[in-house]
């Protein structure tokens, strides 16, 4: 199949989770490129892939931020058959990536001039005769190139939220009545194991959870919580002071709570700077 402007009108898919944005793009395309047939409109990434695979449009206009699958994820499934044009309102990271690569993109709200330029380029690519040696693809750049760029873009956008740390546990779930209380680790002063349960202490409340201290130790950020005793994990930011009692034991006090926590000999090294 060699999509061409000469045989039949070109086809396109529009995917955006916001209906007004789809309306705008459709209206603009109708005036800039009257021959283009919009074969399908999708309201999320999953639908975009589904409709894209069913209708095999020449062009797929994909919003980047969509529920289900992002536009970039959807593009990875569709780029072999359809020419991809991304649309975004504000996303500096993505824009930088687009500028470096050969991917097409539109800034929302889509202006008529910019869309006209993009459409002219799309028309040129679609009507260009496919190189004899190449596959049936209508793309100017080889598909593996586009695929590589999409993969780079995906990892770039994924990394940005969480820079270099692995995903540590940030919320502790504690049953309170019928509801599950989500306790942010930033609120927690210390964990203490209490037979079958683990006691979770915040400034104002105490919760009991079923997770063992060992499990917590594996899942929490080791820079956020220190183990100071076989049965105690303490939030580093909450430590107020460490002192020695009459028996020479190190006792630790946290801000926002009166209880003193024993530091066992094995962990005493934590507090022996100087």
Interface ranges with other proteins (CB under 8 A): 17-21, 23-24, 27, 43-44, 46, 65, 67-68, 89-91, 108-109, 162, 167-173, 176, 178-184, 186-187, 203-204, 240-244, 246, 255, 271, 273-274
Backbone torsion region of residue 265, taken as left when φ is above 0, otherwise alpha when ψ lies between -120 and 50, otherwise beta:
alpha
Strands 239-244 and 250-254, sheet pairing: antiparallel
Q: Which of 248, 249, 214, 250 is nearest to 232 (CA)?
A: 214
Of residues 58 and 63, the one with the C-beta less far from other proteins: 63
- In contact, 105 and 86? CB cutoff 8 Å: yes
Of residues 19 and 120, the one with the C-beta less far from other proteins: 19
CB of 132 to other proteins, least distance (A): 43
Distance in angstroms (rounded) separating the CA atoms of residues 214 and 219:
9
CB of 2 to other proteins, least distance (A): 35
CB of 5 to other proteins, least distance (A): 27
CB of 167 to other proteins, least distance (A): 4
CB of 255 to other proteins, least distance (A): 7
CB of 115 to other proteins, least distance (A): 13
Of residues 17 and 58, the one with the C-beta less far from other proteins: 17
**Angle, to 10 degrees, between the axis of helix 71-78 and the axis of helix 143-161?**
160
End-to-end, the C-alpha distance of the chain in Å comes to 75
Of residues 9 and 67, the one with the C-beta less far from other proteins: 67
Of residues 33 and 126, the one with the C-beta less far from other proteins: 33
Of residues 4 and 212, the one with the C-beta less far from other proteins: 212
């Amino acid at each position: 199949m060699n999509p061409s402007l000469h045989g039949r009108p070109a086809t396109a898919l529009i995917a955006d989770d916001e209906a007004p944005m789809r309306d705008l793009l459709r209206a603009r395309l109708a005036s800039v490129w009257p021959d283009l047939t919009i074969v399908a409109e999708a309201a999320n990434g999953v639908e975009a892939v589904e409709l894209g695979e069913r209708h095999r449009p020449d062009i797929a206009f994909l919003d980047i931020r969509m529920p289900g699958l992002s536009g970039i994820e959807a593009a990875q499934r569709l780029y072999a058959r359809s020419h991809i044009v991304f649309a975004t309102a504000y996303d500096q990271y993505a824009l930088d990536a687009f500028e470096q690569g050969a991917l097409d993109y539109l800034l929302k709200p889509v202006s008529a001039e910019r869309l006209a330029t993009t459409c002219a380029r799309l028309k040129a690519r679609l009507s260009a005769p496919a190189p004899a040696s190449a596959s049936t693809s209508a793309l100017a750049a080889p598909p593996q190139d586009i695929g590589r760029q999409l993969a780079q873009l995906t990892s770039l956008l994924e990394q940005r939220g969480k820079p270099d740390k692995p995903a540590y546990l940030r919320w502790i779930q504690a049953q309170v009545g019928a509801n599950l209380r989500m306790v942010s680790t930033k609120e927690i002063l210390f964990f203490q194991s209490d037979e079958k349960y683990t006691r979770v202490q915040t400034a104002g409340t105490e919760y009991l959870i079923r997770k063992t201290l060992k499990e917590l130790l594996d899942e929490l950020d080791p820079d956020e919580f220190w183990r100071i005793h076989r049965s105690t994990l303490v939030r580093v930011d909450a430590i107020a002071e460490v002192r020695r009692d009459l028996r020479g034991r190190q006792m630790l006090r946290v801000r926002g709570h009166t209880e003193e926590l024993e530091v066992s000999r094995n962990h005493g090294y934590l507090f022996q700077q100087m």
